[in-house]
Amino acid sequence: MSHLPAPSSDRSDAPTATLARPLRQLALQAAAVLAVLSLAWPYYGVRGEELPWPQTAFAIGAVALLLATLSHQPWWWRILHAVFAPLAWGVALLQIDPGWFLLASMLLLLVYRGALSGQIPLYFSSRETVHALAALTHGYHDLRFLDLGAGIGSIVQPLAAARPDASFTGVENAPATWLAGRVRTLATANCSWRWGDLWRTDLAAYNVVYAFLSPTPMAALWEKVGREMRPGSLFISNSFAVPGVAATQEIDVDDCRHTRLYCYRV
Ligand SMILES: C[S@@+](CC[C@H](N)C(=O)[O-])C[C@H]1O[C@@H](n2cnc3c(N)ncnc32)[C@H](O)[C@@H]1O
């Protein structure tokens, strides 16, 4: 619909870009397990001794750390790889019923579905950000505001309550957060709370689109903005700039997170 500068393909500014490759991390850990077990099992088997699990777990951690270092993983991934097997062994000692782990992962999925499916975790915009957005959109007389990945409605609910003349929409796809947002926005007539995928949400009907996601989807989201948003409308990204595209305006919010809003006039 409109023509926007193309984002550069350089994603090195994205601190969590490697999260887009969770399978690579899984493969790395599996390689460490295989390497250690393929040596340790025959060795102890031939000697007729039982595998010493604590030492084996620490050896797997050491090999995983080595592989992570050799393949230039970020420092925090190296730590995760080093401690994963020893921690797994430690937790196994607690002899917790596996059903609890299943339950815990199902509950986590209800809240953090976006982290698993699109490297977009859950965290909330601050109250100060709500105030900054209210000030930014103050001059809009026909405000149609969309929050892509709306969490529990931390943005759209207070904005809708403060601007009864405008319309607000939140789209969320994690079941538990969607439900919390649904309850929260029930009494706010000018706030439409939708269950849905942000990638399947048409942006053409909105003149302000807000997103607080992660570095991972920003380039693709920018393409979607360019395809669907109307000229003159505003795209705002909390904290994550579109790679390789200069923002029209940057707003530093005075909150403890030092939020920066990147605003792009389409
Ligand atoms: C960082 S939170 C931001 C929440 C809210 N917008 C705010 O500013 O407080 C990102 C949200 O996007 C949601 N999300 C992730 N992927 C999504 C998708 N494909 N479609 C819709 N929502 C998604 C997550 O579940 C999460 O609630």
Query: Looking at the chain, which residues constitute the CATH 3.40.50.150 domain(s)?
Result: 127-265
**Alpha-carbon distance 237 to 9, whole Å?**
19
Q: Does domain 127-265 have CATH number 3.40.50.150?
A: yes
- Mean of all residue pLDDT scores within the chain: 90
DSSP conformational letter for 199: G
- Closest listed residue to residue 7, CA positions, set 259, 237, 258: 237
Cα end-to-end span (Å), the chain: 10
Q: Is the CB of 214 under 6 A from ligand 1?
A: no
Q: Is the CB of 169 under 6 A from ligand 1?
A: no
pLDDT in tens, 203-241: 999 999 999 999 989 999 999 999 999 999 999 999 999
Q: Are 222 and 242 in contact (CB under 8 A)?
A: yes
| The pLDDT of residue 171 is above 90 | yes
Q: Which amino acid is at 92?
A: A
**Alpha-carbon distance 85 to 96, whole Å?**
17
Among 110, 125, 213, 255, say which to mutate for ligand 1: greatest number of ligand atoms within 8 Å of CB: 213
| The pLDDT of residue 172 is above 60 | yes
**Alpha-carbon distance 199 to 223, whole Å?**
11
Mean pLDDT of 160-186: 96
Q: Which amino acid is at 113?
A: R
pLDDT at 24: 86
